[in-house]
Copies of this chain bind each other. A is one copy, B any other.
Amino acid sequence: MTEAPSRGFPEAEFAARTDRAQAGMAALGLDGLLLMTEAEVRYFSGFHTLFWQSPTRPWFVFVPSTGKPIAIIPEIGAELMRSTWLDDIRTWSAPCPEDDGLSLLTELLAPLAQAGKSIGVMKGHETALRMPLGDYEKLTERLPGLSIADATGLVRGLRMIKSEREIEKIAHICTVGSRTFAKVPELAHQGQPLEDLFRAFRREGLAQGADDVPYLVGGADQGGYRDVISPPSRRPLAQGDILMLDTGAVWDGYYCDFDRNFAIGSADDKSRRAYDVLWRATEAGIKNARVGVTCQQLFQSMQSVIAQLDDQGGDVGRLGHGLGMQLTEWPSHAAFDQTVIEENMVLTLEPSLSYGDGRIMVHEENIVVRKDGAQLLSERAPQDLPVI
């Protein structure tokens, strides 16, 4: 098992995040941020639990214009929230369909509403409203004086740039992921149902030190796979299959997200050619993922290599994305994304292509962008399609 960094963050990190948020809020004329999604609640409070998998209860953290964030949460989370740096923790006995935190939110926000202030809520791309829409509508009806602006840009700007401690956690889980992939030649064999290989891969990831391997998708088929988001079938691996595994493993609440391709027994020429093109597209990505470059430019640098082969099928919409507390985060390496790459962004490079008969291939590596260029966090895939 790989030596792990220390868990959690010092209080100063949460204070710094809050300071930066409050500076951004002031610039936008916002007197508060109302957050309710797992990553955002954790980002500002340190509240870390798998209990989010239960959809029953809403959770809220409010970042005021000055001072520490305020938690408004179900009583079941009180003990854990008291272990964070927050002081003001308001709880109710949840679930309570008639009043799941609404009275507490109303009490908190009423003075701002009366003063005609604005708060921010995340309403933009890649977000969801993690409270009942009916309750959100009730809240806005109760507080007619309150302006609610979209704070996605503000939070996105903060979360896209990782701290050294965040990078350390992601680097660690990438190392665990790389060591797990290194074992695939031992774990996989002809005649093995793909479902069993998935199970073996997950067990290996845990043995290598992952807290969990929540995301594992892939495919295997003769001369290439056709789908990259399906659960595994019972189909046995066969000579001539191209196998892909793509994993999001987790350590201390931070993800890796990369994949590896393998040929079973032997590799066909078309798949080897596709692999080579994608390997070189990834090289172009690594070279071009630099401070000051836009995501659009990074996309184009990879796309120009892919264009040597791609028949334009299998549209996955982008060639990589941000990575951190979520499996996929802003930005997107896509024609639409003008985000300028900054130091300490953690990114995936994920070129993909289609090469006839509906076959697709995807490659993926994880990097952190430093002053002098991209630093690989995943161990670089071999230059030639490995045969096992």
Interface residues of A (CB under 8 A from B): 7, 48-51, 53-57, 74-77, 79-80, 93-98, 100, 121-134, 136-137, 150, 152, 195, 198-199, 202-203, 206-207, 211-217, 226-231, 234, 248, 315-318, 321, 326-328, 332, 334, 336, 358
CA–CA, A358 and B75, complex, Å: 13
Contacts A214-B214, A328-B55 given; indicate if A95 touches B318 (C-beta within 8 A). Answer: yes
Please report the C-alpha to C-alpha distance between residue A317 and residue B199 in the assembled complex, in whole angstroms.
35
How distant is A235 from chain B, measured CB to nearest CB, in Å?
Answer: 12
Bound-state Cα–Cα, A214 to B212, Å: 7
Q: A98-B336, A128-B129 are in contact. List 15 more A-B contacts (CB 8 A).
A: A49-B231, A50-B214, A50-B217, A53-B215, A54-B326, A55-B328, A93-B315, A95-B125, A96-B317, A123-B137, A133-B136, A134-B150, A202-B212, A212-B213, A214-B214
Chain B contacts for A48, CB-based, 8 A: 231
Which of B76, B121, B132, B316 is within 8 Å of A125, CB to CB?
B132
Q: Nearest residue in B to A125 (C-beta to C-beta)?
A: B97
Q: Give the residues in chain B near A199, CB-CB below 8 Å.
A: 206-207, 211
Could you show 5 A-B contacts with beta carbons less than 8 Å apart?
Answer: A50-B214, A50-B216, A75-B315, A76-B317, A128-B133
> What's the nearest-Cβ distance from chain B to residue A367, in Å?
19
Decide: B80 and A229 in contact? CB cutoff 8 A: yes
Those 10 A-B pairs whose CB atoms lie nearest each other, nearest first: A123-B134, A129-B129, A51-B229, A123-B133, A54-B328, A97-B125, A75-B315, A79-B227, A49-B229, A129-B133
Q: Is the interface of A mostly helix, strand, loop or mixed?
A: loop
Q: How far is the CB of A261 from chain B (nearest CB, A)?
A: 18
CB-nearest residue of chain B to A234:
B7
Q: Is the CB of B328 within 8 A of A56?
A: yes
**Once the chains bind, are A128 and B336 in contact (CB under 8 Å)?**
no
A214 to chain B: closest residue by CB? B214
Nearest chain B residue, comparing its CB with the CB of A316: B76
Residues of chain B within 8 A of A128, CB atoms compared: 55, 128-133
Cross-chain contact of A231 among B133, B211, B328 (Cβ < 8 A): B211
CA of A64 to CA of B328, assembled, Å: 32
Chain B neighbourhood of A80, CB < 8 A? 227, 229-230
Among the interface residues A126, A226, A326, A358, which one has the most CB atoms of the partner chain B within 10 A? A126
* A125 with B100, Cβ < 8 A, contacts A214-B212, A215-B50, A321-B56 known: yes
- Given the interface contacts A79-B358, A332-B95, A336-B98, does A317 sit within 8 Å of B74 by beta carbon? yes
| A95 to B7 CA separation, bound complex (whole angstroms) | 33
How many angstroms between the C-alpha atoms of A147 and B226 in the bound complex? 40
- Assembly CA distance A77 to B228 (angstroms): 9
A132 touches B127 (CB 8 A): yes
Chain B residues with CB under 8 Å of A94's CB are 317
A50–B125 contact, CB under 8 A? no
B229 touches A77 (CB 8 A): yes
* A134–B128 alpha-carbon span in the complex (Å): 9
A80 to B226, CA, bound (A): 9
Residue of chain B at shortest CB distance from A217: B50
CA distance A334 to B152 in the complex (A): 36
